[in-house]
């Protein structure tokens, strides 16, 4: 099994392992509505993988609104409080198809696993969905200063796993995350619709379509 030791897997959280995207959408929508405007699901696609403050700036821009730095902090905090209230009610039912099977297979094969997410609430989500024990390293929005498509989150995750970037395979559902993985010199598997994910090395509807064999084949290409 020596060849598997060199591989490390880095997972984005929202939309890859668990479905929290719906709660981000609901919380941002609630915020926009409280400010007197709305935005579409298509616009919401652009927020995937983007950190909280940048998301807020995009939404305010859509609503044609200007806010001071202090007001932005208050609005971001308000959105987060609504979001946290929602995710605190999450259960293991919200783990996406294939996540448990793949994580179990990787863990039993001795492959290092990290989280590479923009989320600042990843620890709550992993606890509520009973996934925390699979991870050798957690790199999230509390530990990085730059947002995807900057590769910082993935490079730091690789460092925490004590492995080189070229040994890493990243699982992403957002174009910003795909670009970040590529910028970090990593292989990337896109999870979701092909139209929203360009330049991935492999694409799958969800993790149920991914096996260790496919990851090894991708890594060895």
Q: Is 14 a catalytic residue?
A: yes
Backbone phi and psi for residue 4, each to the nearest 5 degrees, phi listed first: -75, -25
Q: Is 140 a catalytic residue?
A: no
Which of the residues 12, 93, 140, 206 is marked catalytic?
12
Which of the residues 14, 140, 173, 193 is marked catalytic?
14
Positions marked catalytic: 12, 14
């Amino acid at each position: 099994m020596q060849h598997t030791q060199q591989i490390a897997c880095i997972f984005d959280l929202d939309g890859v392992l668990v479905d929290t995207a719906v709660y981000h959408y609901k919380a941002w929508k609630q915020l926009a509505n409280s400010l007197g405007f709305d935005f579409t699901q298509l616009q919401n696609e652009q927020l995937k993988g983007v950190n909280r403050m940048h998301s807020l700036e995009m939404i305010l821009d859509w609503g044609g609104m200007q806010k001071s730095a202090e007001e932005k902090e208050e609005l971001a905090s308000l959105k987060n409080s609504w979001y946290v209230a929602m995710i605190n009610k999450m259960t293991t039912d919200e783990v996406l198809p294939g996540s448990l099977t793949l994580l179990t297979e990787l863990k039993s094969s001795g492959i290092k696993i990290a989280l590479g997410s923009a989320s600042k609430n990843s620890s709550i989500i992993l606890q509520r969905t009973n996934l925390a024990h699979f991870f050798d390293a957690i790199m999230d929005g509390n530990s990085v200063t730059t947002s995807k498509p900057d590769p910082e989150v993935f490079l730091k995750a690789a460092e925490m796993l004590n492995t080189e970037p070229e040994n890493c395979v990243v699982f992403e559902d957002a174009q910003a995350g795909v670009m970040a993985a590529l910028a970090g010199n990593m292989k990337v598997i896109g999870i979701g619709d092909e139209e929203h994910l360009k330049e991935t090395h492999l694409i799958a509807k969800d993790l149920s379509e991914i096996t260790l064999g496919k990851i090894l084949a991708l890594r060895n290409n």
